[in-house]
Chains A and B, each alone.
Chain A
Amino acid sequence: MLLFLWSLNVLPQRLVLVGPPRTVETRNPKIGVHTRLTDEVEEWKVKRTLEMVREMGSPWIVEYFPWGYYEPSKGHYDWRHADMVVDHALAQGLTVIARIDFVPKWARPPKTTFRYLAREHFDDYAEFIYAFVDHFRGRVHYIIIWNEPNLSFEWGYRPPDPAAYTELLCKAYRKAKEADPKIQVLAAGLAPTLAPPGSEWGMDDLEFLRQMYARGAGACFDGMAIHAYGLTFPPDDPPDPRQINFARAELIHQVMEENSDGAKFCYITEGGWNDHPRWTKAVRPYQRIQYTIRAYEKALQEWEWCKAVCMWVFRYPWPQKSYQDYYAFVTPEFIPKPIYVEVKHYAHGEPFEYLESVLR
């Protein structure tokens, strides 16, 4: 089709201006969301998404920057899409936390998934980290090294390996600091999981973190990314190593304290509740609104060690046709869901539109 349009000389170009710098108005500076702009092609949609994030009163975003997209062949970088996303985010007054993973084809064996990173390519990943941090110096101040390394899925269906992840983290950390000493390197958010020892699918997140520390990971990150999903439990459900809930974040921080690392900040880079009508791990929609607002407030009032709470997920570029759609704040067509409306009221200190007062 592109060839056809090229032949007609009518390739459409819609002019989208970044616009003047804006600031986020909010009563809670820890509010954040995980955006999903990686596969969003049209620039006006990227801009509109980030405008809506700002308008909701969220100063933080986490965005995914796949290595495989931006280094299609070794040493050749294409930052166009990443630049576009970051520039729009900055114009809206947002702070970007960049999650970096996704192995390019040239850095993995054939017939492996994009999560398969072999040890012999750790240096390639670290060099990409250098290039990314160098390119975005002064614009992106936080990067996350890999994602949920305690799951076998994230190792290309190999057993999770705390030692290997620590090695990767340390290599990436050194290269990131080489590119920009001020960059904040976050250790990957671990998947909250109660997998039994020896499970082929994953390793208990608390155990994985302990093993990371045992291998010297503490010297290789400035902050900790945390994934804090509430499932069916409210945000004030107490932490319990045998339970997955929002307050499990406290247990991650506790492991950090046990390793004299408690002074480092934590950043919830994924989390929240799902309100699918029938999924057994979902809550009712009103509960999702209540719990989300309470979680933001809890982090503000009670978790000094937590700098941001970025809920999964602000908006998908297209419908996921699964329970995943019920994590979103806004539909792919930019229709704000009631949760967006109420969080916006909360962030601006306004009365709720539908929800009775749950916090005041």
Chain B
Amino acid sequence: MLMENLLNIWRAFFAKKSSRRLGLGLLLLVGVLLYVGGKRLWKELGGVDRTWERIQRTGVLRVGMDASYPPFEWLDKSGRFRGFDVELARALAERWGVEVQFINIHFDGLYDALKTAKCDLIISALPYDRTMTKDVLYSQSYFNAGQVLLVRVDGPNIRTPEDLDGQVVGVELGAEAHQLARLLQREKDLQILVRREPEDVLALLLQAKVAAIICDRVTACEYLQQHRELRLVEPPLTDAPYVIAVPLGSFVLLEQVNLALSEWRANGFLATLQRRCF
């Protein structure tokens, strides 16, 4: 009886030509989604994590990075890899009881290197890129490099970007912060003071010639360490989360990376590393 009723509804619906077309479209869409989703799920869950297996078997973690981005990664005069990401990679290797091997690759070639198994993961001040999520797996973010507001502890009470109304901000000429300040200026009564060098922008704040400066978080971290009279305004004005990328299908490796990052965020290791490297 129920089946017969359902069939009657089906027949009535498809009696109209437009409904037939709509139904066909919906069915096709559902079919395509099921196929694509199922295929990916099968690949993710059904296979083995060959990258994690290889790391365990060989005892070597191969890290792809472009060592030209201090303070995250660079080569010192003796050709040694240095920086925040380098320390992070070493800590991961130590945690997993394997050796770390750094592979220096130009930034443009990092994803290709990962896809062709030239390295096991990428740790290279790598911003999350949603257009790449079909090609790699991303870890949780370990650093947000977006633009932030930096103010004096004893300066005007600026807690949010809204408090910038009627204030003067300092930015580096031509930088992303400058572009952002120009955008903020469209909505607020904001005066912009530009300087050529980042240290001159900092001087504006230290001399209380501006109420705030805009810079990226890496720069802000450096300034905060040097000047206790400064304060960071959270949340950031823009987000630029840095993540670790692993090959598609490396679900165990990804889980291990995320586990480590979660623990290190909770026990303060990431913050310590940040203070040591910036």
Contact = CB atoms under 8 A, between A and B. Distances in A.
Contact of A318 (B131, B173, B196): B131
Nearest to B175: A285
A280 interface: yes
A277 B178 contact: no
Given A4-B26, A323-B107, A337-B179, A279 B68 contact: yes
B233 interface: no
Interface string A254-287: 0000000000000000000001011111001110
A319 to B, nearest CB: 8
A7 interface: yes
A338 interface: yes
A279 B194 contact: no
A335 B178 CA distance: 12
A156 to B, nearest CB: 13
Contacts of A324: 108
B178 A338 contact: yes
B68 A281 contact: yes
Which one of B174, B194, B216 has the greatest number of beta carbons of chain A within 10 Å? Answer: B174
B70 A278 contact: yes
B179 A322 contact: no
Contact of A277 (B127, B131, B183, B219): B219
A16 interface: no
A281 B131 CA distance: 26
B196 A7 contact: no
A275 B183 contact: no
Interface residues of B, number: 38
Given A279-B68, A280-B69, A284-B196, A321 B127 contact: yes
Contacts of B219: 277
Contacts of A281: 68
Nearest to B196: A286
A338 B179 contact: yes
B48 interface: no
Given A278-B70, A284-B197, A322 B24 contact: no
A342 B29 CA distance: 49
B172 interface: yes
B125 interface: yes
B175 A355 contact: no
A292 B101 CA distance: 39
B26 A337 contact: no
A280 B76 CA distance: 13
A285 B72 contact: no
B22 interface: yes
Contacts of A331: 179
A286 B174 CA distance: 6
B64 to A, nearest CB: 14
A151 B172 CA distance: 36
B174 to A, nearest CB: 3
Contacts of A318: 131
Given A4-B25, A7-B24, A275 B175 contact: yes
A337 B127 contact: no
Interface of A: 1, 3-4, 6-9, 275, 277-281, 284-286, 288-289, 318-319, 321-324, 331, 335, 337-339, 342, 354-355
Given A280-B69, A284-B172, 18 more contacts: A1-B29, A3-B29, A3-B32, A7-B26, A275-B174, A277-B216, A278-B72, A280-B68, A280-B74, A284-B174, A285-B172, A286-B173, A323-B107, A335-B183, A338-B174, A338-B182, A339-B174, A354-B173
26 contacts: A7-B21, A7-B23, A277-B216, A277-B218, A278-B125, A278-B218, A284-B174, A285-B172, A285-B175, A286-B172, A286-B174, A286-B196, A289-B173, A321-B128, A321-B129, A322-B107, A335-B183, A337-B179, A338-B178, A338-B179, A338-B182, A339-B174, A342-B174, A354-B178, A354-B194, A355-B173
Ordered nearest first, which 9 A-B pairs have the shortest CB separation?
A: A7-B25, A285-B174, A321-B129, A286-B173, A321-B127, A338-B174, A280-B68, A286-B196, A4-B29
